[in-house]
Amino acid sequence: MMRIGVIGYGYWGPNVVRNFAELADAEVTVVSDDRPERLSEAQRRYPGIRVTTDALGLIADPAVDAVAIVTPVAFHFELASAALRAGKHVLVEKPIATTSDQASRLVDEAARRRLVLMVDHTFVYTGAVQKMRELVAGGELGDIHYYDSVRINLGLFQHDVDVLWDLAVHDLSIMDFVLAPQPVAVSATGLAHVAGRPKNIAYMTMFFDGPMIAHVHASWLAPVKVRRTLLGGSRRMIVFDDLEASEKIKVYDRGISVDPSPENVYQMLVGYRTGDMWAPKLALTEALQVEAAHFVDCVTRGARPQSDGESGLRVVRLLEAASASMQQHGRPVDIHGVTAA
Amino acid sequence: MMRIGVIGYGYWGPNVVRNFAELADAEVTVVSDDRPERLSEAQRRYPGIRVTTDALGLIADPAVDAVAIVTPVAFHFELASAALRAGKHVLVEKPIATTSDQASRLVDEAARRRLVLMVDHTFVYTGAVQKMRELVAGGELGDIHYYDSVRINLGLFQHDVDVLWDLAVHDLSIMDFVLAPQPVAVSATGLAHVAGRPKNIAYMTMFFDGPMIAHVHASWLAPVKVRRTLLGGSRRMIVFDDLEASEKIKVYDRGISVDPSPENVYQMLVGYRTGDMWAPKLALTEALQVEAAHFVDCVTRGARPQSDGESGLRVVRLLEAASASMQQHGRPVDIHGVTAA
Amino acid sequence: MMRIGVIGYGYWGPNVVRNFAELADAEVTVVSDDRPERLSEAQRRYPGIRVTTDALGLIADPAVDAVAIVTPVAFHFELASAALRAGKHVLVEKPIATTSDQASRLVDEAARRRLVLMVDHTFVYTGAVQKMRELVAGGELGDIHYYDSVRINLGLFQHDVDVLWDLAVHDLSIMDFVLAPQPVAVSATGLAHVAGRPKNIAYMTMFFDGPMIAHVHASWLAPVKVRRTLLGGSRRMIVFDDLEASEKIKVYDRGISVDPSPENVYQMLVGYRTGDMWAPKLALTEALQVEAAHFVDCVTRGARPQSDGESGLRVVRLLEAASASMQQHGRPVDIHGVTAA
Amino acid sequence: MMRIGVIGYGYWGPNVVRNFAELADAEVTVVSDDRPERLSEAQRRYPGIRVTTDALGLIADPAVDAVAIVTPVAFHFELASAALRAGKHVLVEKPIATTSDQASRLVDEAARRRLVLMVDHTFVYTGAVQKMRELVAGGELGDIHYYDSVRINLGLFQHDVDVLWDLAVHDLSIMDFVLAPQPVAVSATGLAHVAGRPKNIAYMTMFFDGPMIAHVHASWLAPVKVRRTLLGGSRRMIVFDDLEASEKIKVYDRGISVDPSPENVYQMLVGYRTGDMWAPKLALTEALQVEAAHFVDCVTRGARPQSDGESGLRVVRLLEAASASMQQHGRPVDIHGVTAA
C-alpha cells in the first residue's frame, strides 16, 4: 500500500486526492495547504486523512512514500527538490518548473537518487491522446506533416503565468508524447491586452529538422471555447476535438499525392485524395485515474513514467524559448540542448 | 451603358462576365483568353459577346470603356498598366500585383489619369463583411482587441503563389476594410511540404501601434474545411463562420472587465462577463453582383471604390512583408510606408 | 427551518438531498431507502442526517415537515397518500403517479388538507424553460403554431415504464408550463423491439382546439443523443437544444406571412420572412436548486407551486391517453376531463 | 443516340434537360412548356433544341424516343398515359400520379407495351442512398429496427399538394429502395395552419409485419432546415444528414444487446454497446446525372429501372393512406394490395 502526501488542495488538488484515494494499492495519508478553510473542506470529505499547513513537515513524514505537488508553479521547484532530497517519489503539477534550469536540476536529482519523478501532463493519459500516439506509432498517418492546435476560451486571466504556460503547455505535452521528433526552434507572438499583465493571446510556431511544422493558438479572450487539434500525415489526418461528447478523434483518409514524373517542376502534379472517415472508440476512464495508477505502478516497478521528468523539462524548454521569442515579436529562438532525431 | 472588356475566362472569369452582364447599365462587349476552348465556352453561353485571343487588342478597342483583368497574378501589372495608359478604368483580380512596387505604380498611374482602379477584394462586398464593418464603425464592439482567422482546407497546391497570397489575402482585404488601424509589422512562419513548391501551410501575425493583434492561419493541407474569423472587441466579439448556411455572423455580448481599483497590480481583478448572442440578418446578394454594380457606379460618378488601388497596395505590402518574414522563420518585418493611425 | 424527509436514495435522490441541504431555510433530517448500502453512502456524505429503511416511519416522524418521494413510480401514490394523510407537504418525483385516478386522488387529498403537493417537473425550473415561458407569455412568439420535440438516445431500457413515461414526460411538463391551451386528443404510435418489454420507440401527436399541434419523438434506441425542441409561433420561432453548452435557446425572427387579399384562394400568397436570430442569456442556477427553494417557499407562504399536483395530473392524463392510443396503432384518444381554454 | 422530349421547363425541368444533354448517348430534341418566357429561356441556353407550347405534339413527334414529364403532379397521369400510348418510354417527376389507381394504370400500360416507365425518385440515385442500400443488403446493419426521418424547413407553401406529398415522398422513395419489407399500415397526423390550404406540418408512422417501425416528420414551418434520417439495425445504426458537406452517412457500431438467460423477464438484461463510428466515402456524381444515364441504359437494354413504375405506385399508395389517416387524426389505415414480405 503506497502512502501519498498531497501538497495543495485548491482547484486541482481535490481531483488528485480523489483519484489516489480510489486506487486499491494506494492511500492518501496527508494533505497540506496553507489555507485552513481548504483543509477543513478536505477533512470534511476525507475524515480519515490527516491535514496540515506544514508542507515541509508532510515531506519529512515517514508515513509518506510519495508526494504529489499541486501548488502554483512558483513553488514546484522548491517543494519537489525537498521531496526528492527526502527520498520521496514525486508527481508535480504541470509545468514542472518555472525555468528549464530548475527542471533540469529536478531531473538530475531524481536520477541520482533513483526516484520516480513524474509531471502531471494529464492529457497524455486520455483515451484520445493515447489513441493518437498508437496511430502515429503504428504508421497509420504516414510521415507527420504538421500539428496545429487551437485552445481558446473566455477565461480567467492568470496572475503568474501567461497563456502559453497555462494553455499551450497541454499541446506541448501532447506533442511530446505523440510525436517522435523534437522542435529545434520556436517563433512566438502575443499580446497582453491588460497593461502589466501576462500575455493573454499567443501564437507559437515550432520548427523541426525536416518537413514538419507545429503551431498552437492559445487565448483567454475568445467568445467561444475551442479545443481543436489537427494532426496531418502523408497517409491520413486526424481532427481531435475535445469538446465533442463522443467521436473526439476523427481519422480522415485524406492527403495530397505528388506525381514526380512530369518533366519539369512547373508541371509536377500535386493532387489530393479523399476517402473514408473513421472515429475509433476511445477508452473512457478518467485521465487522472489512469495517471494515478501509472504513477503507483512506476514507483512499484521502478519504471519510467510516460510523462517523466525529462518530458517536463522538454516542455519547459519550449515554453522558455517561446517567451523569449514573444518578447522579440516572433524572432526565432533555437531550442538549446536539443539534438534532432 | 458602360462597356466592359474581360481578360481571362478561366475559373473566376465566367462569374465576372455573368455579373456584369446582369447589370442594367453595363454590358460585356469583349472577352479574351489565350485558350481557344475557353473562348468557345464563352461564345456558347454569350453568343452576343465578341471573343479574342488578343488581350492588348481588347484593351485598345474603342468599344471598351473599362477592363476587368481576371488572369494569373503574374500578368496583372502589365495588363493593368496597359489598360490605364489606354485610358480605361480597371478592375483587377486580387492580389492587385506581385510586388508593392508594381501596385504602387498602378495606383500612381490611375491617379494621374483620374481613372478608377479597383481590386477585386470580393469578401468586402459580402453581407457578412459589410455588417462587420458597420458594427465596428458604429462602436458596437468597443475597442478592437484582435482579429484571428483560420482559412484552411484540402486544396489544390498552386504553382505560382504560396498559400498566404492565395488564401490569407482574403483576410488582409477584410481587415483593411473593417479595421481602422494598419499593421506596422509582420511575423510569419510556414512550410512547403512538397520540395520546390510554394509554402502550403502558413501562419501570419500582424502587430499594430496599440494593444491589438491579428493572426491568419492559411493551409492547403487540412482534412476539413474551416473558414472562421474571430473579431474581439472590448464590448462585444464576433464569430464569422463563412461555412454556416445562415447565421454567418454571431455577435457575442462577452468580454473581460478590468477592475483597476485594487491597491496593487497583483490584486487587480480581471473578470469576464457573458450576455446574449445575436445573429443579425445579412444581405444575401451575391458579392460579385454588388461589386460589379459598385465598379460601374464609381466610374459613372468618378468616386473612389471601397476596394481601391490603395487597398490593393496595402494588402500586397503585407503579403510581401510576410513572405520576407517567412523566409527568416518569423523574424518580424516592418511595414514600410505605413504611418500608424 | 423546514425539515425534509427524503424517501429514496438511488440515482436522483442524492441530488434532491444535496439541493435541500444547501438551502439556508431547510434541512434534510431523515433519508430512507430499503437498500442498506445506499443508506451507508448517504450516511458517509451526510453524517448529520438520520437514515432508515422504514419509509412509513419517516413519514410519521414529527421531526419531518415535508416529504420528498424519489422512488420508482409504482410507489408514488401509496407514499404520497400516506404523507398527505400524516399532514406532511409532499414533493413527488415525476410522473406523479401511474394512473390519472391516483393522481386525481392525491390532488384532492392535498386540497382537502391545504397541503402543498408538488411534482418534480425539473425542466420547468431550468433557465431555458423559464425563458421560453416568459417569451410566450409576453407575446414575443405571437400565436403558437406547434411544439415539436425529439428526445432520443441509446439508453437503458426500463423495466416498469415505456419510453413515453420515461422521456416524453419531460416534454409534457414543459408544454404544460409554457403553453396556455391543453391538448384535447392524442394519437400515439410505438414499438417494443424486445418482446415482452415496454415500448422503446414512440411518437405522440397532441391535438388542440385551434390551429396548433404538438409532437414528441422519444426513443431509447438512437445511435446519437438528441434533445431538441421547436416552438413555432406566428411572429417568432424557438429552437431549444439542451445539448448546447451555451445558447440553448435560439429565437428566430422567422415565420410565414399570409396575404389574404387575392381574389381566390388559389392565388392567396403564403410567403415567408427571415430576420435576426437571438440567443438570450439564460439563468445558470441548477434547476433542482431553484425547485427546492420554490418548494420551501410555497410551503412557507402557502402558495401554489409552478409544478403543482394538477400539472402532475394533466401530464399523467396525457400519458394514459397516449398509452391507450399506442395500443391501437394511433387511433386518436380524447383527453377526458379537459375543457379547452 | 436516344432522343428525349422534355415536358415542363419550370424549376426542375432545366436540371433534367441539362443532365440528358450532357450524356454521350442521348440528346434532348424538344422542350415544351405553356409559358413562352420559359421557352425563351430554354432556347437561349440551348439554341439547338426545338421548343413548343404543344405538349401533345411533342409526344407525337417521331423524333422523340422517350418523354420526360416535369410538370405539376396534376398533369402526370394524362401526359404519361398519352406518351405510353404513343409508344414512348417515360420518365415522370415524383410522385408518379395523384392516386394509386392512376399509378396502377400507368404501370399496366407500360407493361402491356413493354415500355420503360421510370419515376424520378432522385434520392435513390445519390451516393448516400446507394450506400445505405448496399450496407442494408450486405447485412452490415443486421435486422432493421426502424427508419426515422426529419425533413423540415421554412418553405414555400404549395397550392396543390400537402407537405407529405411534397417532402415525405422523398423518404418513402428512399425506404422503398433501401428496405426489403413494405409497410402494412399507416397512421398520420398533421395540421394546416393556413385555413383552406394543404397541411403544412405532418407526422407519418408506418407499421410493418414484424418488429420494425418507420416515421417521417415533414414541415414547411420550421425555423431551421433539417434533413436527417436515422436507420437503426440490430448490429449497426446509420445517421444520414443530407446537409453535411461531406460525411453525409455515419455508421455507428452501436446497438442494444439482450441477454435472454435470466430466469424471468423482469430480470432480462438489455444492455447497450458502443464502438467505432465510420463515414464511408460516397460517390459524388450528381444524382440526376446517374439517373438520366440509368434511364437511357434501361431503355437501351430493356431493363427495369431501380425506380420503376411499381415503386412509384407503392409510394403513392402510402401517401394516399397517410392522407386518409390524417383526415381521421391518426386512425390507422391499412395499405391495400400489400402482401408483407
- Least confident piece of the model among A256-270, C53-67, C138-152: A256-270
Residue C160: which pLDDT band, with cuts at 50, 70 and 90?
confident
Find chain D residues with C-beta within 8 A of B243's C-beta.
Answer: 245
pLDDT, mean of residues B102-112: 98
Give the residue, A196 or A111, on which the prediction is more confident: A111
Q: Over 70: is that where the pLDDT of D99 sits?
A: yes
Q: What is the pLDDT of residue D261?
A: 57
Chain B neighbors (3+ CB pairs < 8 Å): A, C, D
Q: Mind spelling out the 3-state secondary structure of D13-31?
A: HHHHHHHHHCCCCEEEEEE
Query: What distances in angstroms separate CA D323 from CA A117, D96, D317, D337, one per listed residue?
Result: 73, 16, 10, 17
Q: What percent of chain D has pLDDT over 90?
A: 86
Instruction: Please state the rounded mean pLDDT for residues D271-296.
Output: 93
Confidence of residue D248 (pLDDT cuts 50, 70, 90): very high
Q: What are phi and psi of C108, to 5 degrees?
A: -65, -45
- Residue in chain C lying closest to B251 (CA): C278
At residue B253 the predicted structure's pLDDT band, cuts being 50, 70 and 90, is very high
Asked if C299 and C89 count as a contact pair (C-beta separation under 8 A), the reply is yes
pLDDT at residue number B291:
98
| Nearest-Cα residue of chain B relative to residue D48 | B44
Q: In whole angstroms, give the CA distance from residue B203 to residue B213.
A: 13
Q: Tens digit of pLDDT for each residue in D54-78? A: 999 999 999 999 999 999 999 999 9
Query: Are the beta carbons of A104 and A317 closer than 8 angstroms?
Result: no
**Residue D253, min C-alpha distance to chain B (Å):** 23
CB burial of residue D93 (10 Å; 0-12, 13-18, 19+): buried
Query: Could you report the predicted ipTM of this complex, rounded to two decimals?
Result: 0.94
In sequence order, the β-bridge partners of residue B30 are B5, B50
If you average pLDDT over every residue of chain C, what do you get?
93
How high is the pLDDT of residue C194?
85
Which subunits count as partners of chain A given 3+ CB pairs below 8 Å? B, C, D
pLDDT at position A260 = 59
Interchain CB contacts (distance < 8 Å): B and C: 28
Taking the C-alpha atoms of residue A4 and residue A7, their distance in angstroms, rounded to an integer, is 10
Report pLDDT for C341. Answer: 34
Cα separations in angstroms, C84 against C65, C109, C141, D139 = 11, 7, 40, 57
Q: Which of B270, B278, B327 has the highest number of chain A CBs within 10 A, making it the mutation to test binding with A?
A: B270
Cβ(D198)–Cβ(D192) below 8 Å: yes
- State yes or no: cis peptide before D95, omega within 30 of 0: yes
Residues 6 or more apart whose Cβ sits within 8 Å of residue B35: B9, B10
Name the band, by pLDDT with cuts 50, 70 and 90, for residue D28: very high
> What residues of chain A have any CB closer than 8 angstroms to a CB in chain C?
225, 243, 245
Write out pLDDT tens, residues D159-186: 788 999 999 999 999 999 999 999 999 9
Q: Residue A147 — φ and ψ, nearest 5°?
A: -125, 130
Residue C51 has pLDDT above 60, yes or no: yes
Q: What is the C-alpha separation between D51 and D58, in angstroms, rounded?
A: 9
pLDDT number for residue B209: 95
Return all residues near C96 (Cβ < 8 A) that are at least 6 apart. C76, C80, C103, C106, C119, C309, C312, C313, C315, C316
Judging contacts by C-beta atoms under 8 Å, the chain B residues touching residue A210 are: none
- Write down the pLDDT at residue D259: 63
Q: What is the pLDDT of residues A21-46, one digit of tens each?
A: 999 999 999 999 999 999 999 998 89
CB burial of residue C331 (10 Å; 0-12, 13-18, 19+): buried
**Amino acid A339: pLDDT:** 42
Element (H, E) at C275: strand C269-279
C-alpha–C-alpha distance, residues B206 and B191, integer Å: 19
Confidence of residue D268 (pLDDT cuts 50, 70, 90): low
Q: Which three cell numbers stand for residue B23?
A: 447589370
Q: A243: nearest CA in chain C?
A: C245
What would the pLDDT profile of B49-76 be if each residue is shown by its tens digit? 999 999 999 999 999 999 999 999 999 9
Upstream peptide bond of A95 is cis (omega within 30 degrees of 0): yes
Q: What is the pLDDT of residue C269?
A: 60
Inter-axis angle of helices A169-178 and A127-137, nearest 10: 40
Q: Which of C205, C258, C265 sits opposite D330 (nearest CB)?
A: C205
Distance (Å, whole) CA A107 – CA A96:
10
Q: Which amino acid is at B280?
A: P
Query: Confidence class of residue C337 from pLDDT cuts 50, 70 and 90?
Result: low
Q: Is B1 exposed, middle or buried (0-12, 13-18, 19+ CB in 10 A)?
A: exposed
Q: Could you tell me the three cell numbers for B134?
A: 458597420
**pLDDT exceeds cutoff 70 at B6:** yes
E-only strand ranges, A94-139: 117-120
Cβ distance C245 to A243 less than 8 Å, yes or no, reads: yes
- Of A29, A107, A61, nearest in space to A305 by CA: A107
Tell me the average pLDDT across A163-188.
97
D156 has a pLDDT exceeding 80: no
pLDDT for residue C260 is more than 70: no
Percent composition of chain B: helix, strand, coil (DSSP 3-state, to 5): 35, 30, 35
How do residues B191-215 score in pLDDT, each as one tens digit? 999 888 899 999 999 999 999 999 9
For residue D243, the chain B residues in CB contact (below 8 A) are 245
Report the pLDDT value the prediction gives residue C264, as an integer from 0 to 100. Answer: 47
The whole-number average pLDDT for the span C113-123 is 98
CA distance D285 to chain B (A): 19
The pLDDT value given to residue A273: 80
**Shortest alpha-carbon distance between residue C247 and chain B (Å):** 7
- Higher pLDDT, residue A27 or B44: A27
Which helix H or strand E contains B133, and what residues bound it?
Answer: helix B127-137
- Assess whether pLDDT exceeds 60 at residue B254: yes
Angle at A114 between CA A108 and CA A118, to 5 degrees: 70
Q: Is the pLDDT of residue B341 over 70?
A: no
Provide the 3-class DSSP secondary structure of residue B32.
Answer: strand
CA D3 – CA D16 distance, rounded (Å) = 13
CA distance A7 to A16: 10
Average pLDDT over residues B287-313: 97
Of B78, B71, B159, B175, the C-alpha closest to B123 is B175
Chain D residue numbers touching C219 (CB-CB < 8 A) = 146, 148
Whether the pLDDT of residue D306 is over 60: the answer is: yes
pLDDT at site A315: 98
Per-residue pLDDT, B339: 42
Q: Is A140 exposed, middle or buried (0-12, 13-18, 19+ CB in 10 A)?
A: middle
CB D1 within 8 A of CB D27: yes
Q: Is the dihedral of CA A146, A152, A157, A158 positive or negative?
A: negative
Residue scoring higher pLDDT (C238 or D271) = C238
Distance of CA D35 to the CA centre of its chain: 27
As beta bridge partners, residue C254 has C274
Q: Contact B26/B2 with Cβ under 8 angstroms?
A: yes
The DSSP bridge pattern shows strands D201-207 and D213-219 to be antiparallel
With an 8 Å Cβ cutoff, are C225 and A245 in contact?
yes
- Does the distance separating the beta carbons of C275 and B278 come in below 8 Å? no
When mean pLDDT is compared across A24-28, A152-156, D222-226, the lowest value belongs to: A152-156
Q: What is the pLDDT of residues A96-120, one digit of tens each?
A: 999 999 999 999 999 999 999 999 9
Three-state DSSP state, B326: helix
- Measured CA to CA, the distance from residue C296 to residue D89 in angstroms comes to 76
* pLDDT beyond 50 at A340: no
Distance of CA C324 to the CA centre of its chain: 20
Q: What is the pLDDT of residue D265?
A: 47
Chain D neighbours (≥3 Cβ pairs under 8 A) are: A, B, C
Q: How many CA atoms lie within 13 A of C301 on its CB side?
A: 9
Instruction: Tell me the nearest-neighbour CA distance from D187 into chain C, angstroms.
Output: 6
- Asked whether the beta carbons of residue B205 and residue A203 sit closer than 8 angstroms, the reply is yes
Mean pLDDT calculated for residue range A58-62: 97
Highest mean pLDDT among C125-139, D33-47, D259-273: C125-139
Q: Express each pLDDT in D111-127 by its tens digit.
A: 999 999 999 999 999 99
pLDDT, averaged across chain B:
93
DSSP state of C314: H
| Mean pLDDT of the region D116-145 | 98
Q: Which of D57, D92, D56 is nearest to D71 (CA)?
A: D92
Lowest mean pLDDT among D262-266, D270-274, D304-308: D262-266
A235: number of CA atoms within 13 Å, CB side? 8
- The whole-number pLDDT of residue D180 equals 93
How does residue B157 score in pLDDT terms, banded at 50, 70 and 90? confident
When the pLDDT of each residue in chain D is averaged and rounded to a whole number, the result is: 93
pLDDT at D5 over 80: yes
Across the range B216-238, mean pLDDT stands at: 97
**Quick check: A265 pLDDT over 70?**
no
